[in-house]
Structure formats: C-alpha cells, structure tokens
Amino acid sequence: MKIAVLPGDGIGPEIVAQAVKVLEALRSDGLKIEMEHAHIGGAGYDAAQDPLPEATLKLAQESDAVLLGAVGGYQYDNLPRPMRPEQGLLRIRKGLGLFANLRPAMVYPELVNSSSLKPELVSGLDIMILRELTGDIYFGQPRGIRTLDNGERQGFDTMHYSESEIRRVAHVGFQIAMKRNKKMCSVDKANVLDTSMFWREIVTEVAKEYPEVELSHMYVDNAAMQLVRAPKQFDVILTGNIFGDILSDEASMLTGSIGMLPSASLDANNKGLYEPCHGSAPDIAGKDIANPLATILSVAMMMRYTFAREDIAQRIETAVRKTLQQGLRTGDIAEAGMPKIGCKAMGDAVVAAL
Ligand code: IPM
Ligand code: MG
C-alpha cells in the first residue's frame, strides 16, 4: 500500500500525524504500508511557490492512495488566485481524475446530543452524499472579471456538465445505492438551470440500468430544507460539485461536528484521495485541540475503497467507536461538563483501542 501523505496547512499536520499513527500501528501488525510526505496548499507555496508542486503531483500519481489534511491560512488570503492554497486541492482532484466524492454523514449514538438538531431527528442517521468533484462551475471556462462595453466591471463563471461526466458519477451513485438501501435522491436546480435539466435527463436514463434502485429528484433549495427538517428520509444523495459542497457542510452539522466527517475522492479505478471534510481551521492550529477523528475515519475509507480491506476499515471504525464509548472527547464534540482531551491524546486513544 503506497500512500502519499500531504498534511497541508493549519491543523492539517497535527490531524494527519494522528492518522499516520494509526497507519503505523497497522503496519506493525503486518500490513505492507509505505508512506511518503509532500507539501500541498500554503505549505506547497512556502516550499516551492506552488500550491501543488510538481513533485507532489508526481508522488500522488505514483501512489495507490493519498491522505490529505487540509489547506488554507490567513497568510495566503491575498495571493493571486492561482497561488492560493485551495488551487492545490482543486488541481490535485482534477489532475488525478477524482470525480466521485463520497461524504458519509453518520450519527454515532454517543454523539447524538452534540447535533444541532433534536436527538429524535438525527438518531440513527446514515446518509451518503456523492458529490461530483471535477466538473461544474468549479472548473467551467470561461471565467474571470471583465469590463463590459458600458465600462462596468463584471465577475463571471461558467456552469456546465457534459453527458459523460454525469453518466459516470450517476453509475457510481447507483452502485453505492445497490449496496445500501437502494434509494437515491438526485439533487439539482432543474427548475432554473439548463445544466440541471440535462443532469436530470441523464440521471433518469442511467436509472434504467438499475431498476431495483428507487430514484427521486429534488431541487437543491428544498434539499437544504429537508436536511434539517427530516434528514432520515435520505439514503444516497447524488449531486453536482457546487451543490454537493454546500449540502455536505450542512449535513455535517447533523452529525454533531464537522470534525467527525471523513471523505473519499475516487477515480474510475478506485484510486483515491482521502481527507476530512473540514478545513484547515487556522484559528486553532498548533494548539493540540483539533479533532483528528475525521482524518482517522478517512483512513478507514481508504482501506475500504482503494485497498478493498473492509475488515481493516471496520477495525478502525470500531476503534473510533470504542474511544467515544470511553467518554473521550475533543472540544468540538464534548457535551457541557465533559472533560476534553487534545488531538494527540485522541490519536493515542484510537491506536490503543485498535
Ligand atoms: C471542500 C472545500 C473545498 C471545495 C475548498 C477548500 C476548495 O470546501 O472540500 O468542500 O470547495 O471543494
Ligand atoms: Mg466545502
């Protein structure tokens, strides 16, 4: 298992260090794991004046999987857009062809009271958001800021989805649904956007190959509302890049903390990049208070999707559960009055439970 480790910025290095401890524990148990570190994001800019240095992309291309922390920091906010840390992330996603982004939102029974919703609305919640990751308005050309004939300046972006892009992610969605409860909701804005009308047409067509899956469609504004009204109605949510960006942050809050949400971004051959859904949280970086569980759970997803080791994935997930059952909490998931532990201590506890 050749893994590229890209800690990135902010809390990235500290949370990734905990996930690396988990990988090292698995290695001392006999798994053949090879890890190599490289820079991305602001760290890439600092080291090589590029948020995705060539050496990093090359290492990622030569590895079976990538473990990533997070990118971004205040000191980079005023750089020109191509140099900004986020570009490193967008370029590695595009460069590796990682079009299928899986963001599971699961509520652990131990954390049901940390959710921003009432326990009865979220207890037992288990949603899989599948976000298309390499198309849409994120990558559409042309884009920029231009001056119109009347002298006024205008910002513009282009939203588009080609048929093949929609088809391949729809197939992934139906295949995931087949392994779960055979229910998929495709989210779009087909009442306004042509791109969405086309998206709906193609998803409906692909559905014919999966007659056992019950497909529904929902407008994104309604989906945002339904996620906080009755989230348990959802099983698999399939959506485009920008809607998926927004809905997955919303869904994370149902689970108690965005610090609990892992993700997998896969190419057509299950090569993947694994990262927590949260950002680099520069305000708490270096204080040893970040929650490493989303990153550790991302390693579980890596074992499941890239290495087809469901047994190890479950072993890691069980270790995380045990740690929570022991009452161990970082600040973001601690209920009032509960003692809090730091990032490192949480990583150690998971390794011990493993
Ligand atoms: C995410 C993030 C990224 C995105 C940013 C950091 C570019 O918000 O992974 O959801 O918008 O995709
Ligand atoms: Mg986001």
- pLDDT of residue 164 exceeding 90, the answer is yes
Are 165 and 290 within one domain? no
d(CA 280, CA 228): 25
- pLDDT of residue 321 exceeding 90, the answer is yes
Position 140, amino acid: G
Give backbone dihedrals phi and psi of 81, rounded to 5 degrees, phi first: -50, -45
Query: Which pLDDT band holds residue 256 (cuts at 50, 70, 90)?
Result: confident
Ligand 1 pocket member 157 (CB < 6 A) = no
Query: Which pLDDT band holds residue 335 (cuts at 50, 70, 90)?
Result: confident
pLDDT per residue as tens digits for the range 216-241: 999 999 999 999 999 999 999 999 99
Are 243 and 127 within one domain? yes
pLDDT per residue as tens digits for the range 184-199: 999 999 999 999 999 9
Burial class (CB in 10 A: 0-12, 13-18, 19+), 170: buried
Query: Any idea what the CATH number is for the domain that residue 50 is in?
Result: 3.40.718.10
Burial class (CB in 10 A: 0-12, 13-18, 19+), 344: middle
Ligand 1 pocket member 250 (CB < 6 A) = no
pLDDT per residue as tens digits for the range 119-160: 999 999 999 999 999 999 999 999 999 999 999 999 999 999
Are 295 and 344 within one domain? yes
Q: What is the pLDDT of residue 212?
A: 98
Q: What is the pLDDT of residue 338?
A: 87
Q: Among 257, 286, 312, which residue terminates a domain? A: 257
Count structural domains, the chain.
Answer: 2
Compute the mean pLDDT over every residue in the chain, rounded to the nearest whole number. Answer: 96
Is there a catalytic annotation at residue 157? no
Does 296 reside within a domain? yes
Are 94 and 111 within one domain? no
Ligand 1 pocket member 89 (CB < 6 A) = yes
Ligand 1 pocket member 245 (CB < 6 A) = yes
Does 198 reside within a domain? yes
Are 311 and 228 within one domain? no
Q: Compute, in angstroms, the gap from residue 24 CA to the centroid of ligand 2.
A: 29
Are 28 and 166 within one domain? no
SS3 (DSSP) at 190: coil
Choice among 126, 157, 249, 288 that is catalytic: 249
Does 240 reside within a domain? yes
What's the whole-model pTM score? 0.94
Are 230 and 112 within one domain? yes
Q: Among 229, 257, 285, which residue terminates a domain? A: 257
3-state secondary structure 212-257: CCEEEEEEHHHHHHHHHHCHHHCCEEEECHHHHHHHHHHHHHHCCC
Nearest by Cα to 219 from 184, 255, 192: 192
Q: What is the pLDDT of residue 63?
A: 98
pLDDT per residue as tens digits for the range 18-65: 999 999 999 999 999 999 999 999 999 999 999 999 999 999 999 999
Q: Mean pLDDT across the stretch 240-254?
A: 93
Is there a catalytic annotation at residue 138? yes
Pocket probe mutation, ligand 1, options 77, 98, 245, max atoms within 8 Å of Cβ: 245
Are 7 and 91 within one domain? yes
Atom of ligand 1 nearest to the CA of 275: 9
Are 133 and 248 within one domain? yes
Q: Among 221, 238, 257, which residue terminates a domain? A: 257
Does 262 reside within a domain? no
d(CA 238, CA 9): 30
- Which position has the higher pLDDT, 311 or 253? 311
Is there a catalytic annotation at residue 249? yes
Range of the domain at 244: 102-257
